[in-house]
């Protein structure tokens, strides 16, 4: 009786799943329905289905899996820490795709202190990478809110930014070399620790920020920096967005490269924390003045803590004297500094969730355009949707704002679902009108994919499609992400370049 049951169960196993298990082991390839956490995005906006979820344990296993799926023309959805805020690592609802998780590729392969580099696999969690570098007496400066769960592969796939972009740049700027599995299952061994290499097209930069649509990043060689001797953090109250820029200019002129973070928070966003999360300690009491702004700035010093303290005091005294700042607090301990950062990294998001949610936007603008954009866009929003609330905060040094719109206080939470598309169009139109981008550091994913049709030129879209078609002609890599499904047709065939070479329909996502 047991033999009959076993034969019956074996007969129902998907033959593709059976082949995947031969590559990675039975425990690491399961039907999609048995891994529900891999099928829903971070914000619970998208829920997909998958034929299987597979977790290879080495780059050779990744390559073997990809060769199998390419042979069968099965769509592949690469997945790291699954922290995407734009649905970029969630399969569609067709049930055709295989989710390829990189979490088991979690080795630190090498640290070269003479070259100031570290080579890690894609599944290494960002916090662990930071700690490993620190234990070796070095700094890996990429830092963002999801660092306890996001992986370096996902950070590179989205070209993540974070709070120290001002000093160290985005993930792309921190990367020297990559190891990539191509859509055909070949391995590009590009883990070079070179800071100068002009021997051809920069393939590294092509894969970084491609959101898994061109290949699968399996490892990276990254830059390390000296650990600062001291850091100083301050929280400053200002009377307007213009004063934010005045303080930024002052800080840049005095601190130079020592200025590692400059985070601004609008008055309404700050006040919402005190309103919705009264248990959180805030540096200053919130005020009803909507023009009020707050800045969290941090400097790193390679001389001494005393030197860092003197420099911070000098700049803040000048800001208060010149009227660029109304008040300022300097952290007197690590715990005090962590409290400032907790407000920025945790409390702002939680307060908005407690308020009933927001329509989120991750935008970037020329720094000089920020005050005019903020005034103009809020006026546009109020003229069309009276009472909506703007909660803005972000990395002012590189022009990146998390620009979130809350419902009018007298409207139900369903208001945002009803008016969300209109809100986003107003925001995006003004962003592009001011020379900005609708996707700063979270990527495009699925949520902004079709907005590119409105805001990117046809030639940009055709060039992106040409690259996609050249590297992934079968269209199996993370289909439905990043590239619009209805992009301009190519002139030769009159068809979208996203069609696969056999001329069948493109793979759609929900």
pLDDT single digits (tens) 431-476: 999 999 999 888 888 888 888 888 889 999 999 999 999 999 999 9
| pLDDT recorded at residue 3 | 46
* CA–CA separation, 152 and 473 (whole Å): 27
8 A C-beta contact, residue 399 and residue 251: no
DSSP helix/strand/coil, 503: coil
Give the pLDDT confidence score for residue 229 in this predicted structure: 92
Q: How far, in Å, CA of 43 to CA of 466, rounded?
A: 31
The CATH number for 2-101, chosen from 1.20.1510.10, 3.90.660.20, 3.40.50.300, 3.30.43.10, is 3.30.43.10
- In this structure, are residues 144 and 126 in contact, taking their beta carbons and an 8 Å threshold? yes
Describe the strand order of the beta sheet including 76-79 as a list of residue ranges.
Answer: 29-31, 52-54, 98-101, 76-79
Give the closest residue to 386 by CA, choosing from 410, 368, 366, 370. 410
Asked if domains 2-101 and 229-352 share a fold, the reply is no
- Sign (positive/negative) of CA torsion 505, 507, 508, 510? positive
pLDDT in tens, 369-380: 999 999 999 999
Give 99's strand partners: 53, 77
Among 164, 297, 299, 322, smallest CA distance to 239 is for: 322
356-444 sits in which CATH class? alpha beta
Q: For domain 108-226, give its CATH number from 3.30.465.10, 1.10.1040.10, 3.30.420.40, 3.40.50.720.
A: 3.30.465.10
Identify any residues that bridge with 221 across adjacent strands, giving them in sequence order.
119, 177
DSSP, collapsed to helix, strand or coil, labels residue 60 as: helix
CA dist 394 to 148, 362, 400, Å? Answer: 20, 9, 6
User: Can you name the residues that pair with 404 across neighbouring β-strands?
Assistant: 391
Q: How far apart are CA 341 and CA 306, in angstroms?
A: 22
Which of 217, 201, 178 has its CA nearest to residue 66? 217
CA torsion through residues 474, 30, 45, 265, sign: negative
Burial of 82 (0-12, 13-18, 19+ CB in 10 A): buried
pLDDT at position 219 is: 98
Please tell me the pTM assigned to this model: 0.87
CATH number of 229-352: 3.40.50.300, 3.30.70.2190, 3.30.70.2740, 3.40.50.10490?
A: 3.30.70.2190
Nearest-angstrom CA–CA distance, 437 and 454: 12
Q: Where are the domains of the chain?
A: 2-101, 108-226, 229-352, 356-444, 449-510
CB contact burial 227-257 (16+ within 10 A = b; e otherwise): ebeebbbbbbbbbbbbbbbbbbebbeebbee
Render the burial of 188-213: b for 16+ CB within 10 Å, e for the rest: bebbebeeeeeeeeebbeebbbbbbb
Going residue by residue through the chain, which has 510 residues, state the pLDDT in tens, using 9 for 90 and above.
Answer: 444 444 444 447 799 999 999 999 999 999 999 999 988 888 788 899 999 999 999 999 999 999 999 999 999 999 998 888 888 889 999 999 999 999 999 999 999 999 999 999 999 999 999 999 999 999 999 998 889 999 999 999 999 888 888 889 899 999 999 999 999 999 999 999 999 999 889 999 999 999 999 999 999 999 999 999 999 999 999 999 999 999 999 999 999 989 999 999 999 999 999 999 989 889 999 887 778 999 999 999 988 999 999 999 999 999 999 888 999 999 998 889 999 998 888 889 899 989 988 999 999 999 999 999 999 999 999 999 999 999 999 988 889 999 999 999 999 989 999 999 999 999 999 999 999 999 988 888 888 888 888 888 999 999 999 999 999 999 999 998 988 876 655 543 333 333 333 333 222 232
Q: At what angle do helices 305-322 and 241-255 cross, to 10 degrees?
A: 140
Taken in order 167, 430, 403, 92, the sign of the CA dihedral is: negative
> d(Cα 264, Cα 153) in Å, to the nearest integer?
28
pLDDT of residue 26: 95
φ, ψ at 298 (rounded to 5°): -140, 140
pLDDT of residue 314: 93
Per the structure block, which two tokens stand in for 97?
A: 């795709």
Give pLDDT, residue 494.
34
């Amino acid at each position: 009786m047991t033999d009959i049951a076993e034969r019956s169960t074996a007969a129902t196993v998907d033959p593709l799943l059976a082949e995947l298990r031969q590559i990675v082991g039975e425990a690491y390839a399961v039907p999609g329905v048995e891994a529900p956490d891999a099928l829903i995005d971070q914000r619970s906006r998208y829920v997909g289905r998958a034929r299987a979820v597979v977790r290879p344990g080495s780059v050779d296993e990744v390559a073997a899996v990809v060769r199998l799926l390419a042979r069968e023309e099965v769509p592949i959805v690469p997945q790291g820490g699954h922290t995407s805020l734009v649905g970029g690592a969630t399969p569609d609802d067709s049930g055709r795709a295989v989710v390829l998780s990189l979490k088991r590729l979690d080795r630190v392969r090498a640290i070269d202190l003479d070259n100031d580099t570290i080579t890690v696999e894609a599944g290494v969690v960002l916090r662990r990478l930071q700690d490993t570098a620190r234990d070796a007496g070095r700094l890996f400066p990429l830092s963002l809110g999801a660092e306890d769960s996001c992986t370096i592969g996902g950070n590179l796939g989205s070209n993540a930014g974070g709070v120290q972009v001002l000093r160290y740049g985005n993930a792309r700027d921190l990367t020297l070399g990559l190891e990539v599995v191509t859509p055909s299952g070949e391995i590009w061994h590009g883990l070079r620790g070179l800071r100068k290499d002009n021997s051809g097209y920069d393939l590294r930069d092509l894969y970084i920020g491609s959101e898994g649509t061109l290949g699968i990043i399996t490892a990276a060689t990254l830059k390390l920096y000296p650990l600062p001797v001291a850091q100083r953090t301050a929280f400053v109250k200002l009377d307007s967005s213009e004063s934010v820029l005045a303080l930024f200019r002052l800080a840049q002129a005095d601190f130079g490269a020592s200025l590692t973070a400059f985070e601004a928070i609008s008055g309404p966003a700050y006040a919402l924390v005190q309103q919705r999360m009264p248990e959180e300690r805030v540096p200053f009491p919130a005020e009803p003045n909507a023009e009020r702004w707050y800045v969290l700035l941090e400097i790193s010093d390679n001389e001494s803590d005393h030197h860092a303290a003197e420099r911070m005091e000098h700049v803040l005294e000048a800001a208060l004297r010149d009227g660029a700042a109304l008040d300022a607090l300097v952290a007197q301990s690590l715990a005090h500094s962590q409290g400032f950062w907790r407000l920025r990294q945790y409390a702002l998001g939680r307060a908005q969730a407690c308020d009933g949610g927001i329509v989120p936007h991750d935008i970037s603008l020329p720094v000089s355009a920020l005050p005019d954009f903020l005034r103009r866009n809020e006026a546009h929003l109020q003229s069309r949707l009276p009472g909506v609330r703007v909660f803005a905060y972000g990395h002012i040094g590189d022009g990146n704002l998390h620009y979130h719109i809350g419902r009018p206080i007298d409207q139900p939470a369903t208001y945002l679902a009803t008016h969300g598309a209109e809100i986003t169009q107003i925001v995006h139109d003004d962003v592009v009108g001011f020379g900005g981008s609708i996707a700063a550091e979270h990527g495009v994913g699925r949520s902004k994919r079709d907005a590119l049709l409105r805001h990117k030129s046809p030639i940009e879209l055709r060039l992106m499609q040409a690259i996609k078609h050249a590297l992934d002609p079968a269209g199996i890599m993370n289909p439905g992400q990043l590239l619009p499904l209805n992009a301009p047709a190519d002139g030769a065939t009159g068809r979208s370049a996203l069609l696969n070479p056999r001329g069948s329909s493109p793979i759609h996502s929900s």
